[in-house]
Chain A
């Protein structure tokens, strides 16, 4: 579960999800993307009531089923088998995307290939020739959900920065990202660019800057910490 490499400072995947979960308020409707964003549901602090939306037609998504309780007709957007909580509702795709495109979902947490300092997001295609383009619901989510959080490793596997001045991959949406949770820091998108509001334990501002393809601003909270 913990994929953190031995001597590399920063948060593990679960710690990243845990940090993002702190920012999911009580009484919200939330859509979690496939992969690491799904982990966020595990860590929402007790006492907060959050309803999870999965765009294939369910409000009130619960955790994976116990062995023997699986139902191939009860799946999430990642096509993994899930459960429905008491009080859940099923609906068809046009209603589901009315919730997204009609601004009814409060928060969406997504993965990213690249995030630009103006909030542009690229997370659906590298644009490489021969790649099979696949977009799913990502463009609908970023266009229709007010608050977009991104959870991602700070750099690619090859060590290339994912937070950069402007995206080189095709966009999912322009100026849509509000906040980014990486293994190194929590970073807000502001009119002035990337503002670091929190650093992972043992990680310095300069260390993050060296791994970022755009200039970082040191947030107020960080300065007073």
Chain B
């Protein structure tokens, strides 16, 4: 019998290992799986490579994971944001590595990783410092840069509703990177506000089919990063 449900966020992230590559859904606070990230802080895995568009804000969620010195490298498009202090300080001190990737290239690298495509060509970055040292090729008279697909050991994502099989729907712009990250990770761990029975979500509206989802944990009332940051909360 298929059973993807885990009883707690702690159980769901228990086997994330030192040195793992972890994709974390969310764009800013929208879609950020804060409860799973906090469980990973409690769990303590170190030297992680984390893939996210940003680097978190305040001292909760992704920023707290970085502040807890569990992240050796960030792969992201926009590491500075209002209220993001943790990453800039560690980066300036040379204590965290950064791979800066344009947002569309980041999305496509993840999509390719999930689709079994080892690399692709894109016009993005041609003629800029971010193309330096990369293989290029001309198609129809235009130059393109080769970019590798990106895969991960784990993905941590948040959704609004999941059914028993792991079919997912999201909420508004909280969808962002999560559906593609779910395809690119060996183990996709989902926090969902609600788990319903198979058949309770219209198959026509499912965004992430359950084949891409391995673990579900119900978090009925997830925290909002901006609320925690405004209250000057920190984790742990």
Q: From B91, B110, B123, B177, give the contact of A132 (CB < 8 A).
A: B91
Residues from chain A with a CB closer than 8 A to the CB of B174 are 73
Report how far A101 CA is from B123 CA in the complex, Å. 8
**Contact between B79 and A137 (Cβ–Cβ < 8 Å)?**
no
Size band of the interface chain A makes with B: 35 or more
**Contact between B104 and A140 (Cβ–Cβ < 8 Å)?**
yes
A97-B30 contact given A133-B100, A143-B122, CB 8 Å threshold = no
Q: From A55, A72, A94, give the contact of B180 (CB < 8 A).
A: A94
> Closest Cβ of chain A: how far from B168's Cβ, in Å?
11
Q: Which of B41-49, B63-71, B126-134, B196-204 contacts A (4 or more CB under 8 A)?
A: B126-134
Report how far A90 CA is from B101 CA in the complex, Å. 23
**Contact between A96 and B98 (Cβ–Cβ < 8 Å)?**
no
Residues from chain B with a CB closer than 8 A to the CB of A76 are 173
Residues from chain A with a CB closer than 8 A to the CB of B98 are 133
A177 at the interface (CB under 8 A from B): no
A136-B77 contact given A55-B103, A101-B104, A143-B122, CB 8 Å threshold = yes
Q: From B92, B102, B122, B173, give the contact of A73 (CB < 8 A).
A: B173
Q: Mark B122-147, 1 if CB is under 8 A from A, else 0.
A: 11111111100000000000000000
Residues from chain B with a CB closer than 8 A to the CB of A90 are 170, 172-173, 175
**Contact between B178 and A134 (Cβ–Cβ < 8 Å)?**
no
Q: Which of B104, B180, B224 has the most CB of A within 10 A?
A: B104
Residues from chain B with a CB closer than 8 A to the CB of A73 are 30-31, 171-174
Q: Which of A44-52, A168-176, A192-200 contacts B (4 or more CB under 8 A)?
A: A168-176
Residues from chain A with a CB closer than 8 A to the CB of B91 are 132
A72-B30 contact given A92-B175, A93-B177, CB 8 Å threshold = yes
A interface SS class? loop
Q: Whose C-beta in chain B lies nearest to the C-beta of A133?
A: B100
Q: From A92, A139, A140, A175, give the contact of B176 (CB < 8 A).
A: A92
Q: From B79, B110, B124, give the contact of A143 (CB < 8 A).
A: B124
> Closest Cβ of chain B: how far from A68's Cβ, in Å?
15
Q: Mark A119-132, 1 if CB is under 8 A from B, else 0.
A: 01000000100101
A126-180 contacts to B (CB < 8 Å): 127, 130, 132-140, 143-144, 170-175
Residues from chain B with a CB closer than 8 A to the CB of A173 are 126-128
A130-B92 contact given A56-B176, A90-B173, CB 8 Å threshold = yes
A57 at the interface (CB under 8 A from B): yes
Report how far A8 CA is from B93 CA in the complex, Å. 42
Report how far A93 CA is from B78 CA in the complex, Å. 15
B107 at the interface (CB under 8 A from A): yes
**Contact between A135 and B175 (Cβ–Cβ < 8 Å)?**
no
Residues from chain A with a CB closer than 8 A to the CB of B88 are 132
**Contact between B172 and A71 (Cβ–Cβ < 8 Å)?**
yes
Q: Mark B164-190, 1 if CB is under 8 A from A, else 0.
A: 000000111111111110000000000
**Contact between A75 and B111 (Cβ–Cβ < 8 Å)?**
no
Closest CB pairs A-B (n = 4): A140-B104, A97-B104, A174-B127, A93-B107
17 A-B pairs with C-beta separation under 8 A = A58-B173, A71-B172, A75-B173, A90-B175, A91-B175, A92-B107, A92-B180, A93-B176, A97-B103, A133-B98, A134-B77, A135-B77, A135-B78, A136-B103, A139-B102, A173-B126, A173-B128
Instruction: State the A residues within 8 Å of B (CB).
Output: 54-58, 71-76, 79, 84, 90-94, 96-97, 100-101, 120, 127, 130, 132-140, 143-144, 170-175
Instruction: State the B residues within 8 Å of A (CB).
Output: 27-31, 77-82, 87-88, 91-92, 98, 100-108, 110-111, 122-130, 170-180, 207, 224-227
